[in-house]
């Protein structure tokens, strides 16, 4: 039951004055919700200083300013397209006001010659004079009219003005009751100089004065509230898991060492650390939930295979789940080729398995003769039964929903779970994204892996690029060619047109894969490329994760300047997987802007996915990082990861400490924290 002190905040938007049947759906679209609380969470994007400047001399073109001066003259337009011009003077200089298609009599009534007026708006410079076009405010100081000292500016949608949103938000503040308890520690409030909850919201939606430090403190306070609510949910998830029983998977390292001894290369220290982390978790009597995060080619699959060996050695089964048929078959080949010769029974179960073959696999899973299963969503269909499932490994976890993972985990009472991601996320964000998971990071690459030579090339050299592709094909190599769009009539660089062009020029089989194809069509195109039936695969970014074709040595990316750094890095990781020299060719349309130039230069200079992710975060922000949106980092409504990432670790310690002392949240602060959870937990996506 919701605390009754929060009832006013969860009333529908149309209980606010001025929001009727027509405006209600428009507001709901704007705030992505239907309550007064959703409106209050729609914070201003910035604030305008509307205080009156002391003189025209203090005006800086390019800024929004408020000034007072005497009306000197009015000039009618000399043509229909020219503006009306009104000149103000304040003793230090002139300011010209311009109005297009205005009613002359109305203008003359608003600006009588010789009268003082206050105007507020954006000042620009035109032909050496300062001017303000269509002021936001025109006021008469003789009537004691004054603009607001500060005006919050909101993101808008069609059908709403800034004034209407601000009026509604100000009215919404009245629905916050005054007797809400403080859920933050007093010492933290004092240390950070943060205001109370209601004061913080008021300081953003209805500030009395323009004070950037105050805006920052108010926003940080509310950002911490959101981080604390999220971390409290995560802390309870951990507590809940700690109270569940899971089979301790304890074995010695004999089998691990046996598998490792068959490898043609030496494991990295990062892989060894990750295996130790996982082994420690598996030995506990509650379910492991660990994220294995590693750059392209860092060796996540080997770590997962060794984890499965631990499970099988303890007498349990392991299941690997991949998001597509191609990736599942690819993963099966990796697992079977390494463990099959050592006597492990490995089976693949995907949508491709039909009839008697499928029945045989199902029986082998049910009687335990298959120790390791690799598959797609087919693994969690109702008729799939495991004899003794102990470990679930989920690859490319951001491409599965929570319910998908839970259904596979539901094949046993409480199996351990390892989720893997090839998406490097800045270390500052890793806990924001995966706060309910323990994390092992693979930040090294196995010795001997070929570096990929990355070049940025203007697309005016298309013939040279195609010639290079032709030479690679003659050497029995394969080529990825990525286009940003599927099909546009006026753009030869779209995937459909590019495939046709390459077919005409190269006279070899060309594959085509994009998001509009059905799943089985995509799988068939990827499989044809993997087996060498096609020599060039033209694709959109659907191939950015997981496709492993060692014979592919060239990755061409058209319009590379339009992609994010992390996405370019993922695409580049599709090559360089074999023994031959590999290249990534970033084709751009000149001229390049400074930001695009910096992005491409960063990629050309570095192959470190974590360094690239940090650069992407710095240049573009968290919303553009590959995989972050799918992973939930940008679920935050208040917290800005670029500004407030440091608050997350503070909130995590706060939440864990509080719940360890008061798991029932029955103490005074615990009860207050329950209110915060009721307010902000609905913003947090469902977790396992």
Q: Give the helix ranges, DSSP H, for 573-640.
A: 594-605, 609-620, 628-631
pLDDT at residue 480, as a whole number: 95
pLDDT at residue 544, as a whole number: 59
CB distance 648 to 432 below 8 Å: yes
CB distance 78 to 211 below 8 Å: no
Residue 382: pLDDT over 90: no
Residue 6: pLDDT over 60: yes
Tokens of 456: 């940025």
Residue 590: pLDDT over 80: yes
Domains and CATH numbers, the chain: 4-47+153-210 (no CATH), 51-147 (2.40.50.140), 254-442 (3.40.50.300), 452-606 (3.40.50.300)
pLDDT at residue 633, as a whole number: 47
| Sign of torsion over alpha carbons 481, 486, 487, 491 | negative
Residue 318: pLDDT over 50: yes
Alpha-carbon distances of 336 from 323, 344, 416, 434, 514, rounded to whole Å: 19, 8, 22, 30, 30
Q: Which residue has the tokens 């080949």?
A: 333
How far the first Cα of the chain sits from its last, in Å, is 22
> Is-cis flag, bond preceding 591, omega within 30?
yes
The model's confidence at residue 159, banded by pLDDT at 50, 70 and 90, is very high
Distance CA 43, CA 63 (A): 22
Give SS3 for 622.
helix
Tokens of 125: 């410079």
Overall average pLDDT of the 489-499 stretch:
74
Q: Are strands 116-126 and 137-139 parallel, antiparallel or unpaired?
A: antiparallel
pLDDT at residue 431, as a whole number: 66
CB distance 317 to 386 below 8 Å: yes
Of residues 616 and 440, more confidence is placed in: 440
pLDDT per position as a tens digit, 554-586: 999 999 998 888 788 888 988 888 888 999 999
pLDDT at residue 567, as a whole number: 81
Residue 491: pLDDT over 70: no
Residue 617: pLDDT over 80: no
Residue 685: pLDDT over 50: no
Residue 546: pLDDT over 80: no
Q: How many CB atoms lie within 10 A of CB 53?
A: 18
Question: Which residue spans within 268-307 are E strands per DSSP?
Answer: 289-294
The model's confidence at residue 627, banded by pLDDT at 50, 70 and 90, is very low
Select, from the ranges 165-174, 226-235, 501-510, the one with the highest average predicted confidence (pLDDT): 165-174
Helices 197-205 & 162-173 angle (0-180, nearest 10): 160
Tokens of 633: 């980092």
pLDDT at residue 543, as a whole number: 77
Residue 607: pLDDT over 90: no
Select, from the ranges 361-375, 377-391, 421-435, 673-687, the one with the highest average predicted confidence (pLDDT): 361-375
The model's confidence at residue 401, banded by pLDDT at 50, 70 and 90, is low
Q: Which of 240, 281, 333 is nearest to 549 (CA)?
A: 333
Of residues 424 and 30, more confidence is placed in: 30
Distance CA 590, CA 297 (A): 32
pLDDT at residue 189, as a whole number: 96
pLDDT per position as a tens digit, 123-143: 999 988 999 999 999 999 999
Q: Which of 440, 446, 448 is nearest to 421 (CA)?
A: 440
> pLDDT above 90 covers what percent of the chain?
61
**Which DSSP string corresponds to 165-218?**
HHHHHHHHHTTS-TTPPP-S-HHHHHHHT---HHHHHHHHHS-SS--HHHHHHH
Contacts of 254 (CB under 8 A, 6+ apart): none
Kindly report the backbone phi and psi dihedral angles of residue 483, in degrees, each rounded to the nearest multiple of 5, phi listed first: -120, 150
pLDDT at residue 630, as a whole number: 44
pLDDT at residue 635, as a whole number: 65
Contacts of 106 (CB under 8 A, 6+ apart): none
Question: In degrees, to the nearest 5, what angle opens at C-alpha 341 toward C-alphas 336 and 346?
Answer: 35
> pLDDT above 70 covers what percent of the chain?
91
Q: Are strands 372-375 and 317-321 parallel, antiparallel or unpaired?
A: parallel
pLDDT per position as a tens digit, 96-111: 999 999 999 999 999 9
Overall average pLDDT of the 627-632 stretch:
46
Of residues 409 and 395, more confidence is placed in: 395
Give SS3 for 449.
coil
pLDDT at residue 620, as a whole number: 64
**pTM summary value:** 0.75
CB distance 591 to 579 below 8 Å: no
Residue 215: pLDDT over 70: yes
Select, from the ranges 231-245, 400-414, 575-589, the one with the highest average predicted confidence (pLDDT): 575-589
pLDDT at residue 631, as a whole number: 45
User: If you average pLDDT over every residue of the chain, what do you get?
Assistant: 88
Tokens of 453: 């030579």
Residue 265: pLDDT over 90: no
Q: How many CB atoms lie within 10 A of CB 435?
A: 25
Alpha-carbon distances of 499 from 108, 509, 514, 531, rounded to whole Å: 64, 10, 12, 19
Distance CA 346, CA 672 (A): 52
pLDDT at residue 606, as a whole number: 85
The model's confidence at residue 207, banded by pLDDT at 50, 70 and 90, is very high
CB distance 523 to 545 below 8 Å: no
**Which DSSP string corresponds to 190-205?**
HHHT---HHHHHHHHH
Distance CA 235, CA 663 (A): 10
As beta bridge partners, residue 117 has 69
pLDDT at residue 471, as a whole number: 94
Q: Are strands 582-588 and 452-458 parallel, antiparallel or unpaired?
A: parallel
Residue 688: pLDDT over 50: no
Residue 441: pLDDT over 60: yes
pLDDT per position as a tens digit, 62-88: 999 999 999 999 999 988 889 999 999
pLDDT at residue 402, as a whole number: 52
Alpha-carbon distances of 436 from 21, 400, 431, rounded to whole Å: 41, 16, 8
CB distance 176 to 9 below 8 Å: yes
pLDDT at residue 626, as a whole number: 44
Overall average pLDDT of the 438-452 stretch:
81
pLDDT at residue 432, as a whole number: 66
pLDDT at residue 2, as a whole number: 85
Q: What 8-state DSSP symbol labels residue 57?
A: G
């Amino acid at each position: 039951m919701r605390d009754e002190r929060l009832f006013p905040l969860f009333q529908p938007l149309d209980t606010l004055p001025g929001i009727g049947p027509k405006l209600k759906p428009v507001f709901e679209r704007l705030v992505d919700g239907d309550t007064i609380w959703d409106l209050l969470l729609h914070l201003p994007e910035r604030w305008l200083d509307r205080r009156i400047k002391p003189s025209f001399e203090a005006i800086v073109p390019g800024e929004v300013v408020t000034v007072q001066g005497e009306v000197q003259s009015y000039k009618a337009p000399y043509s229909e397209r020219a503006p009306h011009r009104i000149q103000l003077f304040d003793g230090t200089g002139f300011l010209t006001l311009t109005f297009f298609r205005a009613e002359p009599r109305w203008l003359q009534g608003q600006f009588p010659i010789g009268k003082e007026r206050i105007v507020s708006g954006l000042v620009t410079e035109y032909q050496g004079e300062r001017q303000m076009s269509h002021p936001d405010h025109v006021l008469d100081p003789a009537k004691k009219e004054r603009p607001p000292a500060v005006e919050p500016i909101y993101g808008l949608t069609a059908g709403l003005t800034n004034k209407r949103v601000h009026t509604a938000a100000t009215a919404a503040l009245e629905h916050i009751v005054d007797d809400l308890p403080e859920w933050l520690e007093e010492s933290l409030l004092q240390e950070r100089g943060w205001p109370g909850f209601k004061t913080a919201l008021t300081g953003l939606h209805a500030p009395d004065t323009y004070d950037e430090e105050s805006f920052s403190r108010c926003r940080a306070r509310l950002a911490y509230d959101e981080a604390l609510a999220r971390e409290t949910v995560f802390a309870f998830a951990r507590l809940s898991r700690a109270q569940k029983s899971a089979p301790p998977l304890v074995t010695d390292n004999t089998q691990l060492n046996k598998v490792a001894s068959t490898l043609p290369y030496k494991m990295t220290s990062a892989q060894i650390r990750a295996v130790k982390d996982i082994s420690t978790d598996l030995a506990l009597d509650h379910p492991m939930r660990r994220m294995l995060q590693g750059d392209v080619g860092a060796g996540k699959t080997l770590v997962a295979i060794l984890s499965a060996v631990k499970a099988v050695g303890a007498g349990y089964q392991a299941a690997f789940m991949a998001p597509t048929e191609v990736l599942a078959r690819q993963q099966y080949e990796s697992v079977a080729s390494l463990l099959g010769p050592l006597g492990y029974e490995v089976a693949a179960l995907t949508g491709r398995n039909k009839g008697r073959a499928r029945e045989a696999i199902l029986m082998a899973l049910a009687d335990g003769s298959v120790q390791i299963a690799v598959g797609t969503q087919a693994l969690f269909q109702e008729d799939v039964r495991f004899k003794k499932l102990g470990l679930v490994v989920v690859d490319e976890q951001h491409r599965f929903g929570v319910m998908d993972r839970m259904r596979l985990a539901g094949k046993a009472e409480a199996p351990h779970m390892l989720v893997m991601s090839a998406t490097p996320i800045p270390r500052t964000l890793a806990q924001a994204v995966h706060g309910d998971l323990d994390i092992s990071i693979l930040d090294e690459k196995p010795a001997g892996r070929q570096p990929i030579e990355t070049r940025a090339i203007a697309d005016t050299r298309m013939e040279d690029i195609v010639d290079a592709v032709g030479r690679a094909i003659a050497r029995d190599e394969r080529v990825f060619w990525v286009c940003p769009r599927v099909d546009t009539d006026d753009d030869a660089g779209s995937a459909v047109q590019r495939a046709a062009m390459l077919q005409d020029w190269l006279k070899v089989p060309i594959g085509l894969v994009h998001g509009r194809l059905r799943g089985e069509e995509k799988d068939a195109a990827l499989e044809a490329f993997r087996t060498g039936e096609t020599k060039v695969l033209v694709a959109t970014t659907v191939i950015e994760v997981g496709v492993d074709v060692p014979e592919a040595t060239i990755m061409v990316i058209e319009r590379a300047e339009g992609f994010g750094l992390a996405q370019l890095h993922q695409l580049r990781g599709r090559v360089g997987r074999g023994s031959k020299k590999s290249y990534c060719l970033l084709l751009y349309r000149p001229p390049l802007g400074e930001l695009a130039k910096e992005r491409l230069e960063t990629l050309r200079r570095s192959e470190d996915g974590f360094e690239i992710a940090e650069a992407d975060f710095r240049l573009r922000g968290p919303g553009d990082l590959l995989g972050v949106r799918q992973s939930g980092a940008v679920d935050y409504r208040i917290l800005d990861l670029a500004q407030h990432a440091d608050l997350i670790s503070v909130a995590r310690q706060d939440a864990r400490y509080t719940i360890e002392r008061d798991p029932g949240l029955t103490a005074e602060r615990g009860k207050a924290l329950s209110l915060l959870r009721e307010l902000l937990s609905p913003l947090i996506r469902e977790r396992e």
